[in-house]
Chains A and B, each alone.
Chain A
Amino acid sequence: MEPCLDDVLKWDYLNGALRGGARALFEEHLAACPACRREIDELRNTAAAVAGLTSPAVPAAWTAAAKDRLRAKDLAAAVVPPGPALARRRTNVFQYAATAAGVTGGLALLFGLVMGGPARSWLPDLSAALGIPGPGAARAARLVVWILSLHTLLLVPSIIDNVYRLVTRDGRK
């Protein structure tokens, strides 16, 4: 006759984890089923024999070698970090500077393109205040606006990239 109860149920009974009504029902079945009774008895003996086993001894040389390698690796990890941190700080400074330059250029572009007309009418007052002859100041201002505009156009991809990096890094913190 084949044993007829579920393995997990038999395991729980074997280990005293089956209690109350479930245990009473299990024992009622055991009393009527010689195959299950024999199986439980046999496995109880097997479990007792296995529980008497001990862990194999670890060779001392292996332990010593593992300790040496871990100490060396731990020491190396403790020495390395400052480099990347410094590089990160430098990158931050560069990113902030590039972003500031880009924003300044953008404002100059806005000033030159959108407010070009009114700006030109202010120039005579400005040149008078600075003591520079009118046409010379206007030419100089136009040159500065063009240079800054060109600079801004060249920096647009870099500005976008830097703003993105600064925003995403802040998001990760």
Chain B
Amino acid sequence: MDTDRLVEDHKKLVYHLIHRTVRDRAAHEEIFQEVFLNVLESLPRFEGRSKLSTWIASIAVHTCYKFVQKARERERIGSFGDWLEAGPEPGVPSDVQEGLERDDIKRRLEWHLAKLPRKHALPVTLFYLEGMSYREIAEVLEVPLGTVKSHLFRGLKELRKSIEGGGDGTLLG
């Protein structure tokens, strides 16, 4: 097994999903390692029914969920579906907040995207930034295909609302 290639080919996808899902930046590195260890451990069970990247994305999102569940054991996180449905944790990640100059369009867009609930932020990220199909997103998030489209549409709408509410209307041209 070429483990170096496994990491190299999927590092951006895994990092992106962790970045979009878990607010605690200090935990990101640990989760990143954990995802790849989980992937290697589960690889004998990969049946090739989906693309390897889709399968890895699914492991990454579930690893994030388990991490949050463990880290906040006193709170009731609920099922994987409940956790995706829930709004974002309070606050905006520090590394997104840093250097938010008005002319830094990409970082400001990132800042608004980080404020979206996971159920909207994840489909938007997987569709626009990772180029996944609706079917692949449905598999990763364990929701029906129609729900993926509806979350994508509402995600864009909320993003638009956040941008306009933050006085960043110029970002959208």
A residues at B contact (CB < 8 Å): 7-8, 10-12, 14, 39, 42-43, 45-56, 58-59, 62-63, 65-67, 69-71, 73-74
Contacts and interface: CB of A to CB of B under 8 A. Distances in A.
Contact of B156 (A50, A53, A71): A50
B60 interface: no
Given A42-B160, A45-B172, A69-B33, A11 B152 contact: yes
B15 A58 contact: yes
B42 to A, nearest CB: 12
Given A45-B173, A49-B105, 12 more contacts: A7-B154, A46-B159, A46-B163, A46-B172, A50-B109, A55-B13, A55-B15, A55-B16, A65-B29, A67-B4, A67-B7, A73-B40
Contacts of A70: 3-4, 6-7, 36-37, 40
A55 B166 CA distance: 23
Classify the secondary structure of A's interface with B.
Answer: helix
A87 B156 CA distance: 59
B36 A69 contact: yes
Contacts of B113: 50, 53
Given A46-B163, A67-B3, A11 B173 contact: no
A53 B128 contact: yes
A15 B134 CA distance: 12
A45 B124 CA distance: 14
Contacts of A14: 153
Contact of A56 (B19, B37, B153): B19
Interface of B: 1, 3-4, 6-8, 11-13, 15-16, 19, 29, 32-33, 36-37, 40-41, 105-106, 109-110, 113, 124, 128-130, 146, 149-150, 152-154, 156-157, 159-160, 163, 171-173
B11 A56 contact: no
Given A43-B157, A43-B160, A50-B124, A69 B152 contact: no
Contact of B16 (A39, A52, A56): A56
Contact of A8 (B33, B124, B146): B146
B149 A7 contact: yes
Contacts of B153: 7-8, 10-11, 14, 43
A46 B171 CA distance: 9
A67 B157 CA distance: 39
B168 to A, nearest CB: 10
A126 to B, nearest CB: 60
Contacts of B40: 70, 73-74
Contacts of A39: 157
Contact of B149 (A11, A42, A55, A59): A11
Contacts of B36: 66, 69-70
A67 B4 CA distance: 5
A76 B4 CA distance: 16
Contacts of B124: 50
B11 A52 contact: no
A53 B7 contact: no
30 contacts: A8-B146, A8-B150, A11-B149, A11-B152, A43-B153, A43-B160, A45-B172, A46-B160, A46-B172, A49-B173, A50-B129, A50-B159, A53-B106, A54-B106, A56-B15, A56-B19, A58-B11, A58-B12, A59-B29, A63-B8, A65-B33, A66-B7, A66-B32, A66-B33, A66-B36, A67-B3, A67-B7, A70-B7, A70-B40, A74-B1
